[in-house]
Structure 1
């Protein structure tokens, strides 16, 4: 078989158990097999890793994979090894026996993929070892980390551009990332490639993900309602603080949910045990800071909830992308409030970044706030941020539940009048009290009950005025001085509305009760997509066997078989190993290792 792509397609089926490429993969694999340097921007869950793993086993030589994420290295090595591929990693968490295995394969020239962290490449002994290892290709994951304009800049990535010269020989370079705008892509090309690479920018659309945002009311209750609508499913809840991680985990456990915390303040043994439980067992919910999940390759995460507002659109997109990587329906929910906006802005202003970097971060936060307060399809708003036009999705909260817009010019003028008449010196709660005519101690202390604006907004509830303040802030009509007790002031754009020179449309906030109902409806739809009612008993039996095998081998459950594979087994019920070979995700090595056990369960269900 002389055609490299034909050989690759055969290995795609025999090793990985896939009958075809996912959209966008084949063209990249073809370019890599042709020896081209490549920069590929592909959404999380679209199969970036296959674009270097498949060429690595199609051609001779060693492929060096550079990733900042030890957990991702470990999971990908486990999955490759289970598929019969000689792969390994060198990192600080390895047991001596694992390092010995990897070095043995390396010395014998049998290793096909070697995963290392960029920090390890700063060690002279590592570079010397690689110079003798016949490295033919270097794949750089999370390549946006090389760019100071990227959302997760890491200075250790800057040395990777010189690695080819240090190792010697002609080193084909591939760079992959899920999020990189045009300036970031330019930075990646300049810093990682000696000559211009072939650039692929794939659609950022993840149509299987439902997007939803809700204003915070009683956030713990909102999170609990969302999780309970996904009973028995694996999910991640992201929090802005360690304290909230532990509080939410405790609240979920008290409600009967198997929830575990994860943050840097926990003992390493506890973190590792919790992560392993999340990987190996079904139905575990992880409450975590955003560091968790960066290297998690678990494909069957059915939901991601942000209990606090993410840092920016790129971070939001990357974090929700950890759900539904198997292509099946998954749910996302982001809760946000004015306190979140204040915290994120404060983090930017008090950071040590340059003025230009802070300007960009303000823009990115503003884009996220616009997404949170969007008046129409969220997917359109999100994809437009990445420069991609789209139709309405029908799979976000705004498309499914609708949103009512109204001419908010007069309300905006009332709110801004309250700000101006109080000298632009007060925070939102005081201003809301003035608008609804509430004689609080502070209102009386400053004689603000005598202002013309006192009580002009009594036709609305305090919660409605808070929503109006959030929306005015999101579109840039008002702003807060976070270093002076959160005082509000009116921007130049705001003054144009206040003077009647410009109108503004606002949206009526969706009722919080719709979130739980929508999530429960979507969960039933997702379950129907996986298997029919008559196959759920068999699916549960197959999951139980998978859990048993995964625990015995101390590997994540998906390393045995993914949810999609189990769903197809439950639906198609193959009666032989030959028939099982046609199921998605069943390669030669897994068929030999697990086929008989799963066929026995299927045959037992047929009896």
Structure 2
């Protein structure tokens, strides 16, 4: 079979997505590749299709057990023999899998990086024909990436011990230029085809809200999106417990996930979410890497993550099927403090020398600053994300909270001069709250203790609401009129641009919402739309989803592995009446049609 036949027969697609064909052709020609593709762009097909066409075994190195299980289950559902080798297997299961691999039963084997240098696996590998080593979540190899894993450094040693060098392919979803370069160097890729397809996910809606009642906002959102699957991310285990407990008491189908639970409960709760027994999972960032659940319709961040890489990776777990999904971040000032504590007390980099550790620490502080700026930017949120990863757009996407708000440009030079002047006169010694309290003329103990009531800018902006001054302050930070120190105590510093505002040679303009609401309005869930197919019959979609759930229970697989939401919505729009028409549906391949096609045709005709 050629690559197009493999794509259709096993995976049910008629054409490749952007970038896939170039990477597949490069691998088939024997060339190394590095693919940077956003979540949901189809990275796994880039190594799975060549693996089914090459002579020999493809080893996929993957960081998490859950990722391997998910990928192997999906391949088996598509009619592909695959296996995984990790610590979840008993000794007997592990050696049975190795024997089957030696017998050539698996074209694709997923393996944990820790297994690579064990005696039993090396004995298998050096006597097997390894055609390709595919490194998934390749950013884990770089200490500059957000998920550095020292075990990934064993990959190169393993490749060197093979009798001949296989093709090496590496894939990741979120990587800055520095991380991309690091991945290519550390994995010693040879003249690789390097492809970045772009980080944009047009189907995702982004919004940020600063709220007093976060839980109330979450409840409001869930009530407007009944029956949908979603993830709620929290910064700490304690917050996970609180939010999940309240949701369960209020009657929502919710479960929890964090590193403080025992392995058995974590696995059960994850399975409950993946198999649709629970609609909502409340989790720390310990949950999610490699989870291929395609029908997650929303990701809510109850707290701000520590950097843009983590945020975009977590938010990207929504809408992997290409259907519309929402990513909403509920921001609070305490989130910054909590993240600062995590950064300062990070124990992951203790193996580094002091100079490298300080460099990583400074990098993490800078990343937190950029993440914070995202939360109070009035510019297009999608454009902010893309610029962070080195891409540039039009600063208007039409599908984020800022683009859909009405803004007006306001001259805030007077406010800026007051804030900057106050910072200068106190010799850059205090934080944001002290500066704002001073210009507003507050008479509290801290102001008197610091003698800021003697500052000549004291009370100069007494009629301006505190929230407006904080908005202006954030604008000054984002645009480098002021900066924050990275010391143990964060204080406000002047920049080169500060003097230009004070001497009147530079005006400060900013966009402000005309009627900025503190909380989002309650809005009903919109009618379901299939991307590219228009509106679909909601009743038929629910009938097909019910059939999918029945089949999933019979076969003990997650529902999305039967067919994705995108496949179901395409069925609703096209209403196929025959096998030929059903085979035109996105995601319906020969193997899946034989298993499920007739039952879905009956449901559609019924």
- TM-score, length-scaled by structure 1: 0.90
1:267 matched residue in structure 2:
262
1:276 matched residue in structure 2:
271
2:5 matched residue in structure 1:
10
* Equivalent of 2:83 in 77, 88, 96: 88
Secondary structure at 2:269 match in 1: helix
* 1:208 CA displacement: 0.9
Secondary structure at 2:109 match in 1: strand
* 1:48 CA displacement: 0.3
The CA deviation string for residues 392-419 of structure 1, in whole angstroms up to 9 with x for no partner, is: 3211122211333322222122223444
- How far apart are the structure 2 equivalents of 1:454 and 1:196? 62
Q: Is 1:233 the counterpart of 2:237 in the alignment?
A: no
The CA deviation string for residues 337-383 of structure 1, in whole angstroms up to 9 with x for no partner, is: 33333443454455555333334334433433343333432222322
CA contact (8 A) 1:56 1:112 kept: yes
CA contact (8 A) 2:230 2:281 kept: yes
* 1:45 CA displacement: 1.0
* Equivalent of 2:142 in 131, 144, 147: 147
1:63 matched residue in structure 2:
58
Q: Is 1:403 the counterpart of 2:407 in the alignment?
A: yes
Alignment of 1:71-470 (within 5 A): 71-94=66-89, 99=94, 102-193=97-188, 195-281=190-276, 284-349=279-344, 351=346, 354-391=357-394, 392-421=396-425, 424-443=428-447, 448-449=452-453, 451-470=455-474
* 1:88 CA displacement: 0.7
The CA deviation string for residues 551-598 of structure 1, in whole angstroms up to 9 with x for no partner, is: 333322111111111112233333334432222212222222222333
Identify if the C-alpha distance between structure 1 residues 451 and 164 changes in structure 2 by more than 3 Å, giving closer, same or farther: closer
The CA deviation string for residues 160-212 of structure 1, in whole angstroms up to 9 with x for no partner, is: 12322212223111111112233222222222135221211211111111122
- How far apart are the structure 2 equivalents of 1:462 and 1:218? 19
* 1:472 CA displacement: 3.2
* 1:46 CA displacement: 0.4
* Equivalent of 1:598 in 588, 600, 603: 600
Identify if the C-alpha distance between structure 1 residues 427 and 199 changes in structure 2 by more than 3 Å, giving closer, same or farther: closer
Secondary structure at 1:415 match in 2: helix
* 1:83 CA displacement: 0.8
* 1:91 CA displacement: 1.1
* Equivalent of 1:504 in 508, 511, 519: 508
2:352 matched residue in structure 1:
none
- How far apart are the structure 1 equivalents of 2:477 and 2:339? 13
RMSD: 2.8
* 1:139 CA displacement: 0.4
CA contact (8 A) 1:67 1:141 kept: yes
User: How many residues are aligned here?
Assistant: 597
CA contact (8 A) 1:38 1:175 kept: yes
Identify if the C-alpha distance between structure 1 residues 526 and 210 changes in structure 2 by more than 3 Å, giving closer, same or farther: farther
Secondary structure at 1:404 match in 2: strand
CA contact (8 A) 2:98 2:124 kept: no
* 1:293 CA displacement: 0.8
* 1:85 CA displacement: 0.3
More helix by share: 1
CA contact (8 A) 2:530 2:569 kept: no
1:4 matched residue in structure 2:
none
* 1:53 CA displacement: 0.4
2:572 matched residue in structure 1:
570
- How far apart are the structure 2 equivalents of 1:428 and 1:514? 21
Identify if the C-alpha distance between structure 1 residues 543 and 50 changes in structure 2 by more than 3 Å, giving closer, same or farther: same
- How far apart are the structure 2 equivalents of 1:347 and 1:492? 31
Identify if the C-alpha distance between structure 1 residues 453 and 170 changes in structure 2 by more than 3 Å, giving closer, same or farther: closer
Segments of 5+ residues of structure 2 without an aligned counterpart are 350-355
Using the TM superposition, name which of 438-447 and 111-120 deviates more: 438-447
- How far apart are the structure 1 equivalents of 2:336 and 2:408? 24
- How far apart are the structure 1 equivalents of 2:488 and 2:374? 27
CA contact (8 A) 1:230 1:520 kept: no
CA contact (8 A) 1:299 1:324 kept: yes
The CA deviation string for residues 107-151 of structure 1, in whole angstroms up to 9 with x for no partner, is: 321111100111111322211111222211110011122222222
* 1:496 CA displacement: 4.6
Secondary structure at 2:146 match in 1: coil
Identify if the C-alpha distance between structure 1 residues 409 and 234 changes in structure 2 by more than 3 Å, giving closer, same or farther: same
2:353 matched residue in structure 1:
none
- How far apart are the structure 1 equivalents of 2:516 and 2:281? 23
